[in-house]
Structure 1
């Protein structure tokens, strides 16, 4: 299966998501937050650094819950800004 390349906008949205997660994580370790979300620390690292810019919905939902973020906040902070 060939994956369609991501658009620059999708990559940018992934970078915003990673920044939001790093900010919300604060002083907590990746290991602590990843465990709270039921993910591996490597998965969280990939999302935070933009290497996995389009994580699955339930992955984002689990991270949001572990970090005390609402999904509305995640969408608001990561959505594409109209030109």
Structure 2
């Protein structure tokens, strides 16, 4: 069975890398990562570089998301 995780990341590139590299992830597991456009470019670059070479990770286009009534509004 194929499993795809969608994650929004804002800071802490180390936590993102730890999530993606968890032992339970396998060849049928993929990650789609959105990094908010407001996130500092150096943090974004650290996230991309920290996951470079992993075929199961894709970064989505960066957009600004705002929190509205406990939900995300893009």
Q: Give TM-score, length-normalised by structure 1.
A: 0.26
Higher helix share: 1
Q: Which has the higher contact order (CA 8 A, sep 6+)?
A: 1
Q: Give TM-score, length-normalised by structure 2.
A: 0.28
Higher strand share: 2
